[in-house]
Structure 1
Amino acid sequence: MHCVTGLGKIWSLVFALALSCCVALMPAVSRAETVPAIAAAANIKFALDDIIKNFSAETGLKVRVSYGSSGNFVAQIQHGAPFELLLSADERYIHELQKAGFTRDAGVLYAVGRLALVAPNKSPLTLDAELNGVKSLLAADKLERFAIANPEHAPYGERARELLQKLGLWDGLQTKLILGENASQAAQFAVSGSTQGGIIPLSLALAPQFKALGQAIALPEALHGPLNQRMALMSKAGATAERFYQYLQSDAARAVFLQYGFGLPTL
């Protein structure tokens, strides 16, 4: 198993400026309040970018967002990172922050995620919902590298591991795994040509930037635990973060999430 932290050359060319790993400074909304810092799971990158664009056009307000793994953001918030809102890939992280007193309340579910099996163009991997193509390549000793997000702190990596365990593939893939630091980096590795494929969020597989590089198939939700994505305001969130939080629950925002393959929870 390999844990890779640097971005590959193809990723940087195709997804240039697509993933912000640190908070970028933005102009102040007013003297009283600066643009709020938002932390968001990497799997919602493309959907949230569209939602933020629409929000700013409608309200004239701005937010600055960092994308990464939910587990890492929890650690950062616990150590004083000034995020005002966290959109997690797994609701347990919000519950953890609430229990420790960092959030205003339990927050709300904003989306239900899905996994996808993907392969770069020209890969020998055949895509199917039961991963028989993966099994065939493994049996023929033709599967060299397979990408997922790191299951130690990325919820989509955790669910990928669950799925592979349920299908009896986890042990056989141990020496083949390339671990992305978060879901977006796993997607990079899965379509860069350096692997034969991988398991990534369906939301990233549906992004136009991905479709030019690979193929994808949605995987059955019954093969892994639910990916209930929850968000919550931090205790010191300001007015702009509050308004964005409400906008994320609007029909307009939910339509964008639906477009990127997410299920919609009942609000």
Structure 2
Amino acid sequence: MPMPRRRLILWLATAVISTAALPPLYAQTPPPTVAAAADLKFALEEVAARFERDTGQKLRLVFGSSGNFYSQILQDAPFHLYMSADEGFVFKLADAGKTVDRGRLYAVGRIGVIVPHGSALKADGELKDLAAALKDGRLQKFAIANPEHAPYGARAKEALQHAGLWDAIQPKLVLGENISQTAQFATSGSTQGGVIALSLAKAPSVAKLGEFALIPESWHQPLKQRMVLIKGAPPAARAFYEYIATPAAQEIMVRYGFAMPNEK
């Protein structure tokens, strides 16, 4: 027997209200966002993929200059884990009350000279050919990351100063926003070369573009890379923070040329 019209309307209204009160069947918490220094691009993508396979938890990776991320976090950007190429930025965020603690060293980086195939420069870590190229006119453009906010750029400046080349090379410099963009400038043929992170030079997609030589680590301040959880970080971000210290993650980092710090 058909349901009376009044009862049918009441039943439908109740069903709609009850359904709206239920959580969506496939609702998921958005993955945490990791703000990572650009030198980590290839290594961290591998680590994150391994983390997802091992734990089933997803991450959102954002790469850029450590200094820019520092400024954004000060303005309450929605990041959950900050992986800086310079531990000084982490300490300043901690002092500003933005982090859960003072973080943990996760790697020590290195820099070197890369020159694209066909360049007039040689891949010389002691920068002797770069000095000669400045004098004989071979050098037209040379790439480093912006030393004002990119730690790898600051270390490149220190190395050039150590070699006595900083004043002479400044008019030739092309500044990358971060070390990843710098690697693009240094290998694209738009410059004769540049100073980039060893971790980027070891990536197959970059290595095939040119020749690379390490700069002595005594020529610049150490690239102590520190990570820290931002206040309010969700469990998945905390899990990844701990995962970075596992042998599986460290094996990947070492393969990309990072030294593992003694501090845990």
TM-score (norm 2): 0.89
- 1:175 is paired with a residue whose SS is helix
Would you tell me which structure has more helix in proportion to its own residues? Answer: 2
Which residue in the other structure is 2:100 paired with?
Answer: 104
Which residue in the other structure is 2:169 paired with?
Answer: 173
Amino acid at match of 2:203: A
Amino acid at match of 1:79: Q
2:80 maps to 1:84 = yes
2:204 maps to 1:212 = no
Residue pairs, 1:41-120, within 5 angstroms: 41-120=37-116
Over the matched positions of the two proteins, sequence identity in percent amounts to 50
The CA distance in 1 between the partners of 2:67 and 2:210, in whole Å, is 28
The root-mean-square deviation of aligned C-alpha atoms, in Å, is 1.2
The CA distance in 2 between the partners of 1:52 and 1:212, in whole Å, is 24
Q: Which has the larger radius of gyration?
A: 2
Q: Is contact 2:198–2:257 with CA below 8 Å preserved after alignment?
A: yes
The CA distance in 2 between the partners of 1:32 and 1:103, in whole Å, is 25
Q: Is contact 1:33–1:238 with CA below 8 Å preserved after alignment?
A: no
Unaligned stretches of 5+ residues in structure 1? 1-27
1:56-94: CA deviation from partner (whole Å, max 9, x where unpaired): 011111000110000000111111211000000000010
2:147 maps to 1:151 = yes
The CA distance in 2 between the partners of 1:137 and 1:239, in whole Å, is 52
Q: Figure out how many residues of one structure are paired with residues of the other and give that number.
A: 239
Q: Which moves more between the two structures, 75-84 or 151-160?
A: 75-84
Q: What's the offset of the Cα at 1:130?
A: 1.4
1:151-183: CA deviation from partner (whole Å, max 9, x where unpaired): 000000000000101110001101100000000
**Displaced runs of 4+ in structure 1, greater than 6 A?**
none
Unaligned stretches of 5+ residues in structure 2? 1-23
Amino acid at match of 2:125: A
Q: 1:245 aligns with which of 241, 245, 262?
A: 241
- 2:180 is paired with a residue whose SS is helix
Q: What's the offset of the Cα at 1:31?
A: 4.8
